[in-house]
Amino acid sequence: MKTYIEILPTDLGTEVLVTSATIVAWRVKEGERIPKGVLVEIETEKIVIEREATEQEVGATLTKILVPASSEPVQADFRNGPWRLAEIEIGGRAAETPMPAEIPDYVRRVIESGDEEIEIPTSREARGSFAEAIATREVRRALASPLAKKIAKEHGIDLSAIQGEGPGGRVMMEQVKAAIAEQSAKKEPPIAEPPVAQNNGRIIKPSPRQRATARNLEAMVHVPVLGDDRIIDAEPLEELRLDMRDMFRRLHGIELRFDHFFGKAAAGLLSRRDFSILNSYWRDENNDIVVYPGVNLGMAVSVPSSSADQPTELIVVSVRGADTLGFVAFAREADRLIGAAKKNAVTPKDLSDFTVVINNVGSPVEWCGKRYPGSEHPYSLLSPRTAAIVSFAAIHTECEERRMVVALRADHRIVNREIAIQFQGALQDLLEHPVQILAL
């Protein structure tokens, strides 16, 4: 039966019907059977997706790739239904792996588990030894998904020592993870010698998130940026947060953050027609400006990284409909997203479709048990498909007064100096009289 590998807008973490995405790599070639695990890697402007094969797709034959891998983004059009990436044949076998009739049934079942690394022998003598090897599990090293094998190899896990619980004795990904956890509990992982470049420097492979960030920054290099910095009196905001903190925690179970005031103030202003142009982006293909109908507020969050060379990475979570949420509802949703990001439990939807970004560079940083204050001089870069980012620096004492710098960076093709100054002035008024933010 012919069907398709399909992608929905929600798979890309978006609700728009026409967007762009890059097919980074296909893990299965045309004519091959589809194993469990990652089938295709996809990058959008804001997130990286590893699309795994569904239960129905596992074992099917990939007959034709409709959207090949490329370094350039292509249009993902959902107006007429799901985005079709490839054709598959369910119930068929890859043409290059015919099933010899003489192979015993129990061997046949192992082969039909879908592991493309098992080569079917052609001679009667080879088939006999092959059947014996299968029976004694000498070829169990091949009975696992490509992703499970890759992870196992990276962590030094011997798959032949694991009794597979999947179809045909296949070692499942959950079993590999359990083996890794057990190994870590027994001993410290060995320290691998880092690869050495020609100039004796170490080679670091960027994570998918870093690669996506690099592409985004390269795409925004040509954008002319308008800036406006304001020094505001932060004492009223500090006092209100201190007065509210204990009661807010008891009533709502949320730790009151400065980010809640920053985010709700910015979203409230952007919902006004006076400043809605900041909630937009420049569409290069049509040479026009798209103003978003609502405010999905992106909040930059520092999260743990898998790299020892860079222990944290910066991601942006999206508070959807921030302009329609009351202060408590906004604080609750922001707290949920930040907590999920810290635990690496965010979904593609949580990381996409933000229309404007705020960045609290004043948050303190810890190293070796010591706490360091955040930056007092903010500087941030625009994200793709946005026109503005607002950064909030660390609160500090200057001339016996509590001060904070608020910095706006905007796409100068869209935002002029007058609007930037008006927005920054209105934001300063709200932050210096923060009770007003509670009523937005």
Quick: pLDDT tens for 362-381.
Answer: 887 777 878 888 888 877 78
Instruction: Please compute the mean of the pLDDT values over residues 403-408 and round it to a whole number.
Output: 95
Per-residue pLDDT, 115: 44
Per-residue pLDDT, 392: 94
Inter-CA distances, 410 with 220, 273, 314, 335, 357, Å:
12, 17, 20, 26, 11
- Rounded to whole angstroms, the Cα distance separating 50 from 42 reads 6
Model confidence at 198, pLDDT cuts 50, 70, 90, reads low
The larger pLDDT score, comparing residue 254 to residue 211, is at 254
Burial 283-312 (b: 16+ CB within 10 A, else e): eeeeeeeeebeebbbbbbbbbebeeeeeee
Per-residue pLDDT, 434: 96
Does a structural domain hold residue 10? yes
157 and 303 assigned to the same domain: no
Per-residue pLDDT, 195: 54
- Rounded to whole angstroms, the Cα distance separating 202 from 222 reads 31
Per-residue pLDDT, 168: 56
Does a structural domain hold residue 191? no
Quick: pLDDT tens for 267-296.
Answer: 999 999 999 999 999 998 888 999 999 999
Domain count for the chain:
3
162 and 261 assigned to the same domain: no
359 and 415 assigned to the same domain: yes
42 and 113 assigned to the same domain: no
Per-residue pLDDT, 124: 45
Per-residue pLDDT, 48: 75
Chain Cα centroid distance, residue 52: 15
Structure tokens that stand for 142 in this block:
């091949």
269 and 345 assigned to the same domain: yes
- Of 130, 154, 186, which residue is a domain's last? 186
Burial 165-198 (b: 16+ CB within 10 A, else e): ebbbbbbbbebbeebbeeeeeeeeeeeeeeeeee
Does a structural domain hold residue 178? yes
Does a structural domain hold residue 432? yes
Give the number of other CB atoms < 10 A from CB of residue 92. 14
Give the number of other CB atoms < 10 A from CB of residue 220. 16
Q: What is the overall mean pLDDT for the chain?
A: 81
Nearest C-alpha neighbor of 84 from the set 30, 9, 4, 200:
4
CATH of the domain at 25: 2.40.50.100
- Of 89, 124, 140, which residue is a domain's last? 89
CATH of the domain at 408: 3.30.559.10
77 and 136 assigned to the same domain: no
Per-residue pLDDT, 49: 81
Quick: pLDDT tens for 127-168.
Answer: 445 445 444 444 444 466 666 677 777 778 877 778 777 655
> Of the given ranges (13-22, 164-173, 318-327, 419-428), which has the lowest mean pLDDT?
164-173
Per-residue pLDDT, 185: 65
DSSP state of 112: T
288 and 359 assigned to the same domain: yes
User: What is the maximum span of the chain, computed from C-alpha positions, in angstroms?
Assistant: 91
Model confidence at 99, pLDDT cuts 50, 70, 90, reads very low
Per-residue pLDDT, 143: 60
295 and 254 assigned to the same domain: yes
- Rounded to whole angstroms, the Cα distance separating 306 from 263 reads 29
84 and 112 assigned to the same domain: no
Does a structural domain hold residue 347? yes
DSSP state of 60: -
The larger pLDDT score, comparing residue 109 to residue 38, is at 38
Structure tokens that stand for 31 in this block:
């004519």
Does a structural domain hold residue 370? yes
Per-residue pLDDT, 147: 63
159 and 293 assigned to the same domain: no
- Rounded to whole angstroms, the Cα distance separating 356 from 278 reads 8
17 and 132 assigned to the same domain: no
**Does 196 score more than 70 pLDDT?**
no
Model confidence at 97, pLDDT cuts 50, 70, 90, reads very low
For a pLDDT cut of 70, what percent of the chain falls above it? 80
Structural domain harbouring 263 = 209-439
**Does 306 score more than 70 pLDDT?**
no
- Of 186, 218, 234, which residue is a domain's last? 186
Does a structural domain hold residue 97? no
179 and 228 assigned to the same domain: no
Per-residue pLDDT, 78: 78
Does a structural domain hold residue 141? yes
Nearest C-alpha neighbor of 303 from the set 334, 338, 336, 331:
338
